[in-house]
Amino acid sequence: MKPNFITEIIDEHNKIGKFSGKVHTRFPPEPNGYLHIGHAKSICLNYGLACQYNGKFNLRFDDTNPCKEEQEYVDSIIEDVSWLEAKWQEPTLYASDYFEQMHEYAVALIKKGKAYVCDLNAEQMRVYRGTLTTPGKESPYRNRSIEENLDLFERMRKGEFPDGAKTLRAKIDMSHPNLNMRDPVMYRILHAAHHRTKDAWCIYPTYDWAHGLEDSVEGITHSICTLEFENHRPLYDWFLAQLQIFHPQQIEFARLNMTYTILSKRKLLELVQSKLVSGWDDPRMPTIAGLRRRGFPAQAIRNFCDEIGVAKFNSTIDIAILEEAVRGLLNKTAQRLMAVLHPLKVVIINYPENQTEELEAINNPEDANMGSRKVPFSRELFIERDDFRENPPKEFFRLGPGREIRLRYAYFIKCVDVVKDSSGEIKELHCTYDPQTRGGNAPDGRKVKSTIHWVSAKQAQSAEIRLYDRLFMKANPDDAPEGFKANINPRSLEIITDCKLEPAIMEAKPRTHYQFERLGYFYIDEKDSIGERLVFNRTISLRDTWAKIEKVLKGRS
């Protein structure tokens, strides 16, 4: 990890012997949705620090709100953190395992006269709370006796009161300039089953009460969170000081924001529920599950997190940086293959019928260790429809009537006839090949202006290919009076059926990343590829076409 303000703080702690040189971090997700790339940043940071300082790293579910939390989310989070290869201390931890302990702490605060049971409802409490410019008003229940508070709190726990009838609040200062210090709620009544503790509890701790305690119980030394929690820190400090228990150091950093991307679980859930995407793992989603399914390697995500680093001030990262991290890695690691998305048949009229030969193709020009493979060549081939023009404009160097080009790894071919159907649509091309040019060069030294990819028809494997583009049309998806859903890119998914792939695809190991030559990086869709049916997701195009589009748009305005 590059040195940053957090490593500076830790270095300083280690110098003065705070925490006896120990570093223990954690990732504390609430299981109320799938993880996204912003969470990946937090995971890489916390786990990275633990690694760098020879420390420990916990995975702890912050499962204190039973209404929004589900086992499905717990399972997905475990899968995602594992996939990112952040290794946490066994066992996996759950805030709900500390409910009893938190309850004891609450009783201790009541006994110290530092917490009270309040009968104000949510609306009244809001009014009593005051504003940034006006002080709050003390609750009429604030001065209940310790005995009465203990009794009422016990009865809250036993389930004697309906939801919302009472709360337990910290007794701090209703005129404190920091609103978080104005007698915040610690417990609320919620008759709801919890995905782990089931019906054991009908009072649940608030985030503000629970979070600092969870870190303290686990002996977390450096409690790293996003900037929104900076002005909650005095409250966490207050709770820990009152209880006189282990006191972690909270450090706030800037959350990840990214162009063309929504990183709010609530909004991502809205996309899922309104079926604007196929699910949390839709390959257009910025979720770890979506990115994985689309073919983003975990290593590329880690490289990206490393590259952007950590900062103390919020900013927005250009999504192109993430995309470049993916291209950069896949260029070095992806297996090359030829695939034709929009097939146009080519008949090599001077090539013997029923003959097939095998040509040598390089698996990755960036990595000689990846070797080569055999590609079958025969009389009937497919090329990309786009690689032929009947009336080629001057700048078009690919195939046209009477023109000669090179088939990658194979021969020069020349188009001698264009065969059309009754509607005038081009059905196939008739070409001749020059046997002297095997491997791609002419002994007489003549040159061709382009090289195109192709697939032998007889051996070709059919597949469905899904092309993705950014899910939102605007760099800031929230920039619309109707809300972010109005900015969805209607062309974010294009499905092409009956694409033709080299037969080598059938020998591939699962989870192989491919570069389909000249087209982009592709990854098999494990969910929808069943039996004979092959589905590929385009992970990313070879070049950033958006950069070009944006340049044009800028030029116009």
Contacts of 160 (CB under 8 A, 6+ apart): none
Single residue of 13, 24, 25, 29 touching ligand ATP by CB under 6 A: 29
Total residues contacting ligand ATP (rule CB under 6 A)?
A: 14
Q: Which is nearer to ligand ATP, 58 or 335 (CB)?
A: 58
Single residue of 225, 338, 339, 467 touching ligand ATP by CB under 6 A: 225
449 is known as an active-site residue: no
Is residue 492 within 8 Å of residue 470, measured between CB atoms?
A: yes
User: Closest separation between CB of residue 33 and ligand ATP, Å?
Assistant: 7
Residue of 60, 171, 196, 265 marked active site? 265
Is residue 460 within 8 Å of residue 500, measured between CB atoms?
A: yes
Burial 320-355 (b: 16+ CB within 10 A, else e): bebbbbbbebbeebbbbbbbbbebbbbebeebeeee
Find the helix packing angle between 319-333 and 298-308, rounded to 10°: 130
User: Closest separation between CB of residue 550 and ligand ATP, Å?
Assistant: 24
Q: Which is nearer to ligand ATP, 263 or 319 (CB)?
A: 263
Q: Which is nearer to ligand ATP, 49 or 348 (CB)?
A: 49
User: Closest separation between CB of residue 140 and ligand ATP, Å?
Assistant: 32
d(CA 336, CA 409): 12
Single residue of 13, 28, 466, 469 touching ligand ATP by CB under 6 A: 28
d(CA 183, CA 144): 14
Choose the binding region for ligand ATP from 38-46, 113-121, 242-250, 485-493 (rule: CB under 6 A): 38-46
User: Closest separation between CB of residue 195 and ligand ATP, Å?
Assistant: 15
d(CA 514, CA 509): 11
Q: Which residue is nearest to ligand ATP (CB)?
A: 38
Q: Which is nearer to ligand ATP, 14 or 32 (CB)?
A: 32
Choose the binding region for ligand ATP from 32-40, 52-60, 99-107, 445-453 (rule: CB under 6 A): 32-40
d(CA 442, CA 448): 9
Single residue of 13, 19, 42, 76 touching ligand ATP by CB under 6 A: 42
233-272 positions binding ligand ATP, by CB under 6 A: 255-256, 263, 265
Amino acid letter, residue 500: K
Q: Is 48 in the site for ligand ATP (CB under 6 A)?
A: no
149-178 positions binding ligand ATP, by CB under 6 A: none
Concatenated DSSP letters for 354-393? Answer: T-EEEEEEES-TT-GGG-EEEEEEESEEEEEGGGB-SS--
> Tokens in use for 302?
């880690």
373 is known as an active-site residue: no
Q: How many CB atoms lie within 10 A of CB 202?
A: 21
Q: Which is nearer to ligand ATP, 42 or 539 (CB)?
A: 42
> Tokens in use for 372?
């080569």
Residues making up the chain, counted from first to last: 557
Q: Which is nearer to ligand ATP, 265 or 379 (CB)?
A: 265
265 is known as an active-site residue: yes
- Residues at the site binding ligand ATP, with contacts judged by CB under 6 A: 28-30, 32, 38-39, 41-42, 225-226, 255-256, 263, 265
Catalytic residues: 30, 255, 265
